[in-house]
């Protein structure tokens, strides 16, 4: 619902999926039910209502229970900004929004919230912990985790994988319920298999 309402919805104010979001998630679940693309060893969701709801819909198709990991949550705007519309934020905090556009990862863009640098550190650490947990003694049979998270988290992970700066250089626009697939081929070396795979959304309308 946050996307529809154009709100900055952190974990405090997230109200879950919109009707379209539910349809999109059901389409993905049907895709994986009809044709298993991989064996899921872990199903993880952030603690945002929209992520836990998405994971609950996907769980039967993946044959896994959902584990909640708050560290895969979206950029935390802090309690004072959480729930505010983007328009109100830009009007009330013009200097902070300028810092965002300037690409300063260490600036306090959300008063009382995370800097981009804080956010990337949290997500990077969560990914590091997960890959250590899933490390397999059989290189030809690697474990697979499905992480139900957010566009900002995917952006942070891809930038980490590409060893790119935390802001600037390029833009990513991750479609809701799209699939991003990465393989860890050696320590700190990733192969990006696909990004923004949303074939299951073709022909789907609101």
Radius of gyration of the chain (CA): 17
List, in order, residues 6 or more apart from 152 with CB less than 8 Å away: 74, 75, 119
Give the pLDDT score at 206: 61
Looking at residue 204, what is its pLDDT?
A: 86
**Tens of pLDDT, residues 128-162:** 999 999 976 666 678 999 999 999 999 999 999 99
Residue 11 pLDDT > 90, yes or no? yes
Q: Does the pLDDT value for residue 1 go beyond 70? A: no
Q: What is the mean pLDDT of residues 59-75?
A: 98
Multiple choice CATH, 17-76+116-201, 3.30.70.20, 3.40.50.1240, 3.30.360.10, 3.40.50.2000? 3.40.50.1240
Report which of 133, 146, 159, 154 is spatially closest to residue 55, judged by C-alpha positions.
146
Residues 34/2, Cβ–Cβ less than 8 Å? no
Q: Give the Cα separation of 114 and 83 in Å (integer).
A: 15
- Closest residue by Cα to residue 168 from 101, 119, 94: 101
Tokens found for residue 51: 């992520």
* pLDDT of amino acid 142: 81
Higher pLDDT pick, 107 / 200: 200
Q: Please tell me the number of Cα atoms within 13 Å of 64 on its side-chain side.
A: 21
């Amino acid at each position: 619902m946050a996307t529809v309402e154009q709100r900055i919805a952190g974990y405090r104010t997230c109200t879950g999926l919109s009707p379209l979001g539910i349809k999109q998630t059901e389409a993905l679940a049907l895709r994986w039910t009809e044709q298993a693309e991989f064996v899921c060893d872990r199903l993880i969701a952030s603690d945002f209502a929209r992520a836990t709801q998405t994971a609950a819909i996907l769980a039967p198709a993946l044959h896994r229970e959902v584990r909640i990991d708050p560290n895969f949550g979206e950029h935390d705007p802090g309690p004072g900004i959480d729930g505010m519309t983007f328009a109100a934020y830009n009007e009330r905090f013009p200097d902070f929004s300028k810092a965002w556009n300037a690409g300063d990862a260490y600036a306090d863009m959300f008063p009382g919230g995370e800097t981009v640098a804080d956010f990337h550190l949290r997500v990077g650490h969560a990914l590091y912990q997960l890959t250590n947990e899933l490390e397999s003694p059989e290189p030809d049979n690697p474990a697979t985790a499905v992480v139900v998270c957010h566009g900002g988290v995917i952006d942070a992970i891809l930038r980490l994988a590409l060893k790119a700066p935390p802001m600037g250089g390029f833009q990513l626009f991750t479609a809701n319920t799209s699939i991003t697939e990465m393989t860890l081929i050696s320590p700190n070396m990733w192969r990006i298999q696909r990004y923004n795979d949303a074939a299951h959304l073709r022909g789907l309308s609101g």
